[in-house]
Amino acid sequence: MEAWEECLETLERDPWVHIWYPRRKILVPSFAPRYVNSFVSVFEAQSKKMSDQLDFKVGRGNIGCFDYNVSYSLIAVCETIFGETLNTQRTFDRTFFNAFSQCLKYVTDRITKPWLHSDIIYKLLPMYARQMKYTNIVNQCIDNMIYAKQELLAKDDAIGKVDERIKTDKPPLNSFLELIIKNSKNNSEKGYTHEELREEIIVLAVAGSDTSAAGTSFTMLMLAQHPDVQDNVYKEIQDILGDPNKPLEAKDLIKLKYTTAVIKESLRLYPPISLLTRHCDKDLELPSGLVLPAGCDVIINILGVHRNPDYWGEDANEFKPERFISGHVPPNGFIPFSQGARNCVGQQYAMLSMTTVIVTILRRYRLKPATNVRRTKHNQLRLTFEVMTKEVNHFAIQVERR
């Protein structure tokens, strides 16, 4: 694994470092544990709303849990980014959600269809005009929220409120947008331009919604297929969290070691992002003897790394959460959030969000396998690639009340 670690370090140094490195220096402090942990109340409130929606599906056959998870995660992400509770019933919020979802569909289409890669061809198609229409709506909505937040922070700065909240143990700032604006302003080198700030907000919204939704959905599928594991998770929740009416806190969720192991094992077998790309800045010899020439771009198969028997043993394709309890996780063998200098800054955020959903759902429901769903010959899930890895049966499960 030492050779593999050296490969990762070499591949991190890409020609775009002058763009991502200064941006990351501003972004990372916003994901400090004290800020991320404060968002558990948002995760809990929104996951309870999702749980209420599932109540109407009890005993009604198969349901696609991804649709519920993506709705939850997008609302929770937007609330933690902007510090406002968004409501899909309001015209403004509904317009933003619809435009955001449509943009993702067009981007996915273009990435996965090589004949759409050419700008010349793509801009001649009707879908380009539709994508730009929705892109402009998203940009305008985000711009309005950025301007409003900047105005609010300017007023707070005038009376010293923001600095006081940062320096003391008082409640942290209300949103990632506030934190990023403040960190950008205080950066000794160069802060974000308005366009860069908007781009980072969009990246956070995309990365924090669909990927977390897919990770939670895969975990729910695994729990439905392995009732013994689900019983163990439920018992741990009961033992550690106790009273179901007690508000969830990050310090309690972190104690759920087995539940965390189940989520990680689901991410190992079914990583929402299954590929990474890196640029090779010098000749690099792989452990196999193959030499990657300087200047080439490399695709790292996360799904392949996660199921490599050389790292995980002959049972690498089996669902065994105990792997993450034993502590025998191979170095750099588990990379659902990437690895190295360009790893995902929001991995703690994502894990807390997914854990909150699983806890909330299992407290109220028992997850059951969907009926009339075809698996592979080894009873593995059948997957499809849409930028993210998804399950071809739309993450179908059934739910029953406890």
Contact of 121 with 180, CB cutoff 8 Å: no
Instruction: List the beta bridge partners of residue 276.
Output: 300
pLDDT band at 401 (very low <50, low <70, confident <90, very high): very high
pLDDT, tens only, 246-303: 889 999 999 999 999 999 999 999 999 988 888 888 898 888 889 999 888 888 999 9
Torsion of CA 241, 243, 248, 249, to 10 degrees: -60
Cα 139 to Cα 60, 75, 100, 261, 264, distances in angstroms: 40, 17, 10, 38, 34
Query: Dihedrals φ, ψ of 48, to 5°?
Result: -65, -35
Judge whether residue 389 has pLDDT over 70.
Answer: yes
Lowest mean pLDDT among 36-40, 81-85, 158-162, 308-312: 158-162
Q: What CA–CA distance (Å, rounded) separates 219 from 29?
A: 29
Mean pLDDT of the chain: 85
Instruction: List the beta bridge partners of residue 400.
Output: 366
Instruction: State percent of the chain over pLDDT 90.
Output: 44
pLDDT, tens only, 226-236: 999 999 999 99
For residues 133-143, average pLDDT: 91
The residue ranking higher by pLDDT, 223 or 381, is 223
**Three-state DSSP class for 102?**
helix
Judge whether residue 170 has pLDDT over 50.
Answer: no
pLDDT band at 23 (very low <50, low <70, confident <90, very high): confident
Judge whether residue 11 has pLDDT over 60.
Answer: no
Contact of 30 with 358, CB cutoff 8 Å: no
Q: What CA–CA distance (Å, rounded) separates 365 from 396?
A: 15
Judge whether residue 173 has pLDDT over 70.
Answer: no
Judge whether residue 65 has pLDDT over 70.
Answer: yes
For residues 26-51, average pLDDT: 91
Cα 167 to Cα 27, 85, 117, 170, distances in angstroms: 19, 26, 48, 8
Q: What is the predicted pLDDT for the residue at 161?
A: 59
Judge whether residue 162 has pLDDT over 80.
Answer: no
pLDDT band at 221 (very low <50, low <70, confident <90, very high): very high
For residues 44-66, average pLDDT: 92
Judge whether residue 4 has pLDDT over 50.
Answer: no
- Between helix 176-186 and helix 126-159 the angle, nearest 10°, is 70
Q: What CA–CA distance (Å, rounded) separates 388 from 271?
A: 9
Judge whether residue 373 has pLDDT over 80.
Answer: no
Q: What CA–CA distance (Å, rounded) separates 257 from 261?
A: 6
CA-wise closest residue to 70 among 212, 204, 222: 212
Q: What is the predicted pLDDT for the residue at 243?
A: 83
Q: What is the predicted pLDDT for the residue at 315?
A: 92
For residues 153-166, average pLDDT: 63
Contact of 398 with 63, CB cutoff 8 Å: yes
- Between helix 227-241 and helix 194-225 the angle, nearest 10°, is 110
Contact of 3 with 287, CB cutoff 8 Å: yes
**Three-state DSSP class for 257?**
helix
Query: Dihedrals φ, ψ of 155, to 5°?
Result: -70, -40
- Give residue 47's identity as a one-letter amino acid code: S
Query: Dihedrals φ, ψ of 388, to 5°?
Result: -100, 160
Q: What CA–CA distance (Å, rounded) separates 43 from 56?
A: 21
The residue ranking higher by pLDDT, 318 or 101, is 318
For residues 54-72, average pLDDT: 91
- Between helix 176-186 and helix 65-82 the angle, nearest 10°, is 40
Residues 6+ apart with CB under 8 A from 111: 387
Lowest mean pLDDT among 202-206, 308-312, 364-368: 202-206
For residues 347-373, average pLDDT: 94
- Ligand-binding site membership of 344 (annotated): yes
pLDDT band at 159 (very low <50, low <70, confident <90, very high): low
Range picked from 138-142, 210-214, 357-361 for highest mean pLDDT: 357-361
pLDDT, tens only, 86-130: 655 455 567 888 888 888 888 888 888 889 989 999 999 999 999
- Give residue 251's identity as a one-letter amino acid code: K
Place of tokens 């999702």: 50
